[in-house]
Structure 1
Amino acid sequence: MEGIKVLEVAQFTFTPAAGAVLADWGADVMKVEHAVTGDAQRGLKIGTGGAAAGSFQPLMEHPNRGKRSVGIALETEAGRALLDELIAESDVFLTNFLPAARRKLRIEVDDVRAVNPSIVYARGSALGPRGPESEDGGYDGSTFWCRAGSAWGGTAAGASMAASMPSGAYGDSMGGMTIAGGIAAALLKRERTGEASVVDVSLLSVGAWATALSIGTALLLEENPPKMPVENMRPAIPVNPVIGTFPTSDGRFINFTMLQPGRYWADVCRHIDREDLIDDPRFDTDEKLIENAIPAGDLVAEAIAAKPYDHWVEKFETLEGQWAKVQSPLEVADDPQVRANGYILMVQDLEGNDRELVSSPVQFDEAPYDVSRAPQFAEHTDEIVLGLGKSEDELIQLKIDGAIT
């Protein structure tokens, strides 16, 4: 993306995360922030690094690293005119402002295309650009997770509470990656045909894609997929004794996801020190193993529950089938595979401290990214405005007029 200029008029995480991905890929991303308050997310305290982290707050760093920030009062004529100058030299216009705000600020597709007909216009929304709720907003916890089916799918039948998202910005991060991919495809189309596209991604569309298999099954059967009642939940699934998440003696968990039980059963039995089960007449053929999957799974669970997590992590290093440790965020960050592949990147914060962030997931030519921190509010206003050819006197006058920060 080197040489591509992205103009971002967006806030919070969902759509700005797309700008972060594009910045990882080499684009020059200019983040336009409210001239007084900046991105509304700068004022949130949820999921921040706390006072001890100083200027480095993951809530802002994750979706905004690698960008430049300019503070522009878009509600002023001088500020709006300045935005037009930035639009004229940009390849992509990226926004998640609600339709009413876009109309008020004159940043709808027609407004932007009037200045730059070849610009790719990308919108992130909660509920899509059409339909009776297209004017409404939403967040990933509400729209992506709950409305699009993940909360339902993650909640056992009869549970007293619906499952929560497993991480902050869970749907936002996936949605941002999706927007970035859509923009990349639109830029390729423009290069090949000269035509500029409007790219739309919503939290609802990404959420439905995440639960697509369940939705597709429901459409086929005209009923929801069955769910295990909470009182009947067991570590192994009822049709395969080597698919499930098994508790260990110290309250940790080990996951098996072996789709071919007959192929892996004997090896699993050896690793859990139950070689006697290999020739057990209940399990000695593929057919009988599937027929007796519940007792077989219970025996696997019983064996794993007898010893601690670290024992099994070491023991299963030679396991042939597919398994995984159920890891905490700190454990994921320290995972040797995560580190070996450059999935955690070093970044220097404003104070010069070395910090770390998760890389965006696509790599090119097996090379991790070299990323920089997120900008401070309006940090690059002077640089960006002067880059438009304005003089120092014009820069000062724009500040006096309240058009820029």
Structure 2
Amino acid sequence: MTAVMQGVRVLEVAEHTFVPAASALLADWGADVVKIEHVERGDAMRALGSTGVATIPSDVHVLLEHSNRGKRSLGLDLTSPEGLDILYKLAAQSDVFLTNKLPGVRTKLKIDLEEIRAANPDIIYVRGTGQGERGPDADKGAYDSLAFWSRAGVAAGTMQPEHGHVPVPPGPAFGDSLGAMTIAGGIMGALYHRERTGETSVVDVSLLGTGLWAIGAGIALSMQLNFPWSPPPLDAVRANPLADNYRTKDGRWVALCCLQAGKYWPPLCEALGRPELATDPRFADHSTLMANSGAAAEILREVFASHTVDECRGMLADFVGQWTVVQDTLEAVADPQTVANGYIQDCENAAGAPFRLVAAPVQYNEQPAAPKRCPEFNEHGDDILAGLGLDWDAVVDLKVRGIVA
């Protein structure tokens, strides 16, 4: 894998997942990331014991690893003048400053744009926020389940009124991880712009903005048609029977997405062992198939319901149309395409305990980026301070006074 970010230095003052996962991606691609953590407790994620759905095992904190792999850690008291002086010296050596602190906190800590740019006029200043840098809620915190999922319309876009509840995100840090990729891309664009023009940039990414973009096509139609976007009712008849989900005999699901229904109807009928349906007058061409979509869908429901999911896999193996089995997360990990492309990577934590992580979704030169492990709290503190020219006596004095961990 080409380390496209090699030589880029990132200074992070952030916690949880949304913003830290962005610099984790940059670290995967070769950047040197220094993570500044609270001098006593470290990143708040280190103490997270449960997602609300599942308890995090004690041997490997995979959520922490997901968003902090490949970094160096320094515990630093940013409320002290000496701690701030160390931060500014690190900023002077960095290409990117990355934070998710709210505007009021940034002002209080003296790490806002003006202070960081005073230490390094050429630094790219990056802010990850819940609802954006401007507006009445700019100084309010948020999580991805709120700003990305609920506020941006994503939850409503997946909500079935028949179920009588608001669906939860499909996994922990769902919007955070998408937002992190957005931040990483924004940073790379800012670096490229600085390289070409010499001009530095301020980069802003919010969970709300990322959520709006994620459902942006639906929002565009919603605005044009002037009604809120929502999924079709569960009993709705699809206009295209080859763009629907079908339940199998063993309670699994097969998803079809053949947008050119007339083209793919004959080979689907052949694959499913019902070739006579291809010449049925009701389904003879695209227009008649669309006109009789309800009848076609009912036949497909009966066919799929008479076979197990493995039998369906076999029947559809050579089908030229677009389809997949609806897989759970463990099946997705074992998917032959996942394996062949290296989308899951083996890792070890600081104690040598093995675990696996999803690789960065962007590959360079046909090689996945192998993620390194998350640092232990303040693991690299002494080395980072030595890199600033501090001798051991000065470091010990800072430790005794609680300025560094």
Q: Same fold (TM over 0.5)?
A: yes
The answer to whether the 8 Å contact 2:238/2:244 transfers is: no
The answer for the alignment partner of 1:173 in structure 2 is: 177
Matches within 5 A, 1:104-143: 104-143=108-147
Note the C-alpha offset of 1:226.
Answer: 6.0
Q: Quickly say closer, same or farther: Cα 1:49–1:342, change in 2 above 3 A.
A: farther
Following the alignment from structure 1 to structure 2, what is the Cα–Cα distance between the partners of residues 365 and 337? 18
The answer to whether the 8 Å contact 1:346/1:355 transfers is: yes
Q: Secondary structure at the match of 2:161?
A: coil
Following the alignment from structure 2 to structure 1, what is the Cα–Cα distance between the partners of residues 28 and 146? 28
The answer for the alignment partner of 1:298 in structure 2 is: 298
Q: Deviations over 1:205-252 (max 9, x none)?
A: 10000111111011112223464234x25xxx5110111111111111
The answer for the alignment partner of 1:361 in structure 2 is: 361
The answer for the alignment partner of 1:340 in structure 2 is: 340
The answer to whether the 8 Å contact 2:35/2:73 transfers is: yes
The answer to whether the 8 Å contact 1:49/1:58 transfers is: no
Q: Deviations over 1:26-75 (max 9, x none)?
A: 00001100000111111111249867551x21110000000011000001
Q: Secondary structure at the match of 1:90?
A: coil
Q: 2:186 aligns with which of 178, 182, 185?
A: 182
Note the C-alpha offset of 1:18.
Answer: 0.3
Note the C-alpha offset of 1:353.
Answer: 3.2
Following the alignment from structure 2 to structure 1, what is the Cα–Cα distance between the partners of residues 131 and 285? 50
The answer for the alignment partner of 2:90 in structure 1 is: 86
The answer to whether the 8 Å contact 2:157/2:230 transfers is: no
Whether 1:150 and 2:154 are equivalent positions in the alignment is: yes
**Quick one: percent identity of the two aligned structures?**
44
Following the alignment from structure 1 to structure 2, what is the Cα–Cα distance between the partners of residues 329 and 218? 31
Following the alignment from structure 1 to structure 2, what is the Cα–Cα distance between the partners of residues 107 and 301? 59
Q: Which amino acid aligns with 1:156?
A: Q
Q: Deviations over 1:156-193 (max 9, x none)?
A: 23430112111111100000000000000000011111
Following the alignment from structure 2 to structure 1, what is the Cα–Cα distance between the partners of residues 157 and 298? 24
Note the C-alpha offset of 1:370.
Answer: 2.7
The answer for the alignment partner of 2:77 in structure 1 is: 73
Q: Secondary structure at the match of 2:279?
A: coil
The answer for the alignment partner of 2:45 in structure 1 is: 41
Q: Which amino acid aligns with 1:78?
A: E
Alignment gaps of 5+ in structure 2? none
Q: Quickly say closer, same or farther: Cα 1:226–1:107, change in 2 above 3 A.
A: closer
The answer to whether the 8 Å contact 2:359/2:370 transfers is: no
Q: Which amino acid aligns with 2:267?
A: D
Q: Secondary structure at the match of 1:355?
A: strand
Q: Secondary structure at the match of 2:362?
A: coil
The answer for the alignment partner of 2:244 in structure 1 is: 244
Q: TM-score, normalised by structure 2?
A: 0.96
Note the C-alpha offset of 1:372.
Answer: 1.1
Q: Secondary structure at the match of 1:366?
A: coil
Q: Tell me whether 22-31 or 367-376 shows the greater mean CA deviation.
A: 367-376
Following the alignment from structure 2 to structure 1, what is the Cα–Cα distance between the partners of residues 321 and 285? 18
The answer for the alignment partner of 2:100 in structure 1 is: 96
Q: Which amino acid aligns with 2:112?
A: E
What is the aligned-residue RMSD (CA, Å)?
Answer: 1.4
Q: 1:5 aligns with which of 5, 9, 12?
A: 9
Q: Which amino acid aligns with 2:339?
A: R
Following the alignment from structure 1 to structure 2, what is the Cα–Cα distance between the partners of residues 170 and 110? 32
Q: Secondary structure at the match of 1:242?
A: coil
Following the alignment from structure 1 to structure 2, what is the Cα–Cα distance between the partners of residues 52 and 125? 29
Matches within 5 A, 1:297-336: 297-336=297-336
Q: TM-score, normalised by structure 1?
A: 0.96
Q: Which amino acid aligns with 1:221?
A: L
Q: Secondary structure at the match of 1:214?
A: helix
Note the C-alpha offset of 1:133.
Answer: 0.9
The answer to whether the 8 Å contact 2:256/2:324 transfers is: yes
Q: Which amino acid aligns with 1:195?
A: E
Following the alignment from structure 1 to structure 2, what is the Cα–Cα distance between the partners of residues 226 and 82? 51
The answer for the alignment partner of 1:384 in structure 2 is: 384
- Give the paired residue count: 400
The answer for the alignment partner of 2:259 in structure 1 is: 259
Q: Which amino acid aligns with 1:346?
A: D
Q: Quickly say closer, same or farther: Cα 1:201–1:52, change in 2 above 3 A.
A: closer
Q: Deviations over 1:265-300 (max 9, x none)?
A: 011111222222111111111110011111111111
Note the C-alpha offset of 1:354.
Answer: 3.0
Following the alignment from structure 1 to structure 2, what is the Cα–Cα distance between the partners of residues 225 and 4? 42
